[in-house]
Amino acid sequence: MKGELFDVSFNPLTCVLKKPLHIAQDIYEVKHQVKRCLLEIKDWADRDVFLSWSGGFDAAFTVLAFLELVDEGKLPVDAFIIKGARFHSKGKNISGDWDRGVKFLQEIHQPGMRIDLQDVELNKALIKKIIDVCFKFDQVVFGSAIQEAWRRDQDEISLIHMGFPQPTHKKDVLLKFRAFAHFQVGDNSENVNIYQWDQHIFSSFFTNLFFEMPYVKFNVDHHYDEYLWKYFQIQSYKIVSFLACYPILIKLLLKNRTAAPSLIEDEDIKMLWQTSQQRLKLNVIKEYGHCEVILPNGEVVKSIHHSQEYFNV
């Protein structure tokens, strides 16, 4: 769906920047930009839009920005639906952050809010859809794929928050993406990706923290858990900024797995996923592959300044 910041194609993954980027004024800019984009997306959409809810930081940040717009009288409380799925296997929850997220949602609830939280059994049909997603995007990440598979069954436009800039820690490479950062791409996609709505919201992530936070390799003695540290390594600049904007988000720190295949209770389904995963790994070569973002002339985007130079800003 709509998105004019990047031209993206898959197999192989390529991502071309179409607009110049800039440095954020301060750590609060991202909040102002999310609020602006929510208003624009509401105007643009030709039908209902739901804010995709997982119980994680990004979903909660967007909902808090939405509620601030409601408080300011800029949007009615029913302007968006808040919608998410708790995935379970034989009744056992496989979504690590879900219960905490539901509690959070209850605490910030306002009368008139439209909330649709679904219980979804992880069955063969859903596994098949997850595999389809992985093949289509040439990537295998269970937690992201299961959410996309579920979103495809929804009637409304889904507002997602993916593909924010991640520090590359590589000289002369400003940005790189995985395929799942672009779930909004494609004629059949019913997703609108708020973080890539335009160059202004995308640029609001470019704080000094983005550029200056060092790369720190996972160390089991210091960092407790590899998943947790990987999350901090990539997102710490954003987490700090989000916490400064909405301190209540401390309730959702620290991140746990969105959906963990290891928690699948149904042995048949678990086996099906494991065998499918093997097949995917053989066929989907770029399992954790990234592409470096390039300019229309094919040069890798080296820096913010480089993007501005190219677009003659």
Partner 1 sequence: MLFDVTFNPFKVVLTQPIYSTDDYLTVKLHTKRVLLEILDTYSSESINLTWSGGMDSAFIGLCFNELVEEGTLPSSTFSFYTARYILDGKPCSIEFERGIRFYEKYINSDIDLHIYDINLDDKTFLEKSCLLVNEIRRPTLGSLVQEQFRRDIGGRFIVGCNYPYRYDDTGLFTGAAIDQFWHHLPNSPCISIFDWDADIWSSFMTPFFINRPIIPYKKTLHYDKYLWKGMKGKTVQYMICFPQLFELFFKHMTVPYIGSVASVQEFLEHVKEQYMNTYRTSIELPNGELITSVQQIQEYFNER
Q: Any contact of residue 220 with partner 1 (CB under 8 A)? A: no
What DSSP letter does each residue of 146-185 carry, written as one string?
HHHHHHTT-SSEEEE---------BTTB--EE-GGGGTT-
Draw the binding track, 96-125, toward partner 1 (x: CB under 8 A; -: no contact): ----x-------------------------
User: What does the alpha-carbon distance between residue 157 and residue 193 come to, in Å, rounded to a whole number?
Assistant: 10
| 216 part of the interface to partner 1, by CB under 8 A | yes
Query: What is d(CA 42, CA 184) in angstroms, rounded to the nearest whole number?
Result: 16
Query: Given the complex with partner 1, which of 171 and 222 has the nearer CB atom?
Result: 222
Stretch that binds partner 1, among 186-194, 236-244, 279-287, 290-298 (CB under 8 A): 236-244
Report the residue from 125, 254, 271, 313 that binds partner 1 according to the rule CB under 8 A: 254
The closest of 90, 87, 117 to 102, measured between CA atoms, is 117
Which range touches partner 1 (CB under 8 A), out of 7-15, 172-180, 240-248, 301-309?
240-248
Q: Which is nearer to partner 1, 3 or 101 (CB)?
A: 101
191: which 2 tokens? 């997703």
Tell me, what DSSP letter sits at residue 294?
Answer: B
Which residue of 9, 123, 208, 308 would you call a contact of partner 1, by CB under 8 A?
208
Give the tokens for residue 170. Answer: 């590589």
Q: Spell out the residues 6+ positions from residue 224 whose beta carbon is closer than 8 angstroms to its own.
A: none
Member of 15, 27, 85, 140 binding partner 1 (CB under 8 A): 27
Nearer to partner 1, 65 or 185 (CB): 65
User: 3-class SS at 246?
Assistant: coil
Binding residues vs partner 1 (CB under 8 A): 27, 100, 208-209, 212-214, 216, 221-225, 228, 232, 236-237, 240, 243-244, 247-248, 250-251, 253-254, 256
